[in-house]
Structure 1
Amino acid sequence: MKISELSKRTGASTRSIRHYENKKILSAVRLENDYREFEESAVERVRMIQLCLGLGLTIEQIQDLLKCEESGPEEYEVCDDVLEVYQEKEDQISKQIRALEVVKKRLNEQIVKMTERRKLKKTSK
């Protein structure tokens, strides 16, 4: 598939897809007319890259992750590094969730107060 179709199917810009290719985390075959031709598997690869970027991973960390996924058991050192990054990200996300739960609780308390005030104001008229 051409880069425009890959872009449509994944929501990634063509510029981002070219960047992924330049960073060697996505590959394409160059045709005689110099167009890029991507395999069907590129759709899942781009989605995985987007997910990782959304989690805050760097391109370098994604490169390590891909090496880990594509490596055999003899390359566990890379996988240990990736596992550590994943665990750190999970901890960060858990902290963010806890902080958001506190904010949500306070917001709900304010909503209850404002709703009660509105009811009191309406009944006092």
Structure 2
Amino acid sequence: MRIGELAARTGCSVRALRHYEHAGVLSSVRQDNGYRSFTPDDAARVRLIRLFLSVGFTLDEIRRFAPCWQAGRGPDDPVEADVAADFYRRKLADIDAQLRDL
């Protein structure tokens, strides 16, 4: 599907989708005519990106762990899995602190 259709399916602007692609959290394939082409799975990916952003993740943080959630599993390397788990624990603690402040 083209970027306009992905935007319509996700309620996300075309500009935001281009930004996500530039930031490395979303990818597309260029067709011969130069248009971006996305898969149906990309709609779910965009919704997940927006969810992560809405709870305080940055695009850099999302990109760092994107291979895990895009594959639907954790890192293969146990050390990297521990790093990811520690990161998520810290992020949850930050969110809990924000909730207490609110």
Same fold (TM over 0.5): yes
- Preserved contact between residue 68 and residue 79 of structure 1 (Cα < 8 Å): no
- Preserved contact between residue 21 and residue 27 of structure 1 (Cα < 8 Å): yes
**Per-residue deviation, 1:72:** 6.9
Q: Which has the higher helix share?
A: 1
Structure having greater relative contact order (Cα 8 Å, sep ≥ 6): 2
Q: 1:94 to 1:39 in 2, by over 3 A?
A: same
**Corresponding residue for 1:3?**
3
- Preserved contact between residue 74 and residue 81 of structure 2 (Cα < 8 Å): no
Question: How large is the Cα RMSD of the aligned pairs?
Answer: 2.1
Deviations 1:24-81 (A, max 9, x none): 2211111111111100000010011111111221222111211233377532333323
Bigger Rg, which one: 1
**Corresponding residue for 1:49?**
49
What is the distance in 2 between the residues matched to 1:47 and 1:90? 20
Letter in 1 for 2:64: D
TM-score, normalized by length of structure 2? 0.80
The percent of aligned pairs where both chains have the same amino acid is 40
Q: After the TM superposition, which of the residue ranges 18-27 and 44-53 deviates more from structure 2?
A: 18-27
**Corresponding residue for 1:77?**
79
Q: 1:12 to 1:39 in 2, by over 3 A?
A: same
Q: When the two structures are aligned, how many residues end up with a matched partner?
A: 100
Q: 1:95 to 1:24 in 2, by over 3 A?
A: closer
Unpaired runs of 5+ residues, structure 2, are none
Deviations 1:80-103 (A, max 9, x none): 232222212222222333343xxx
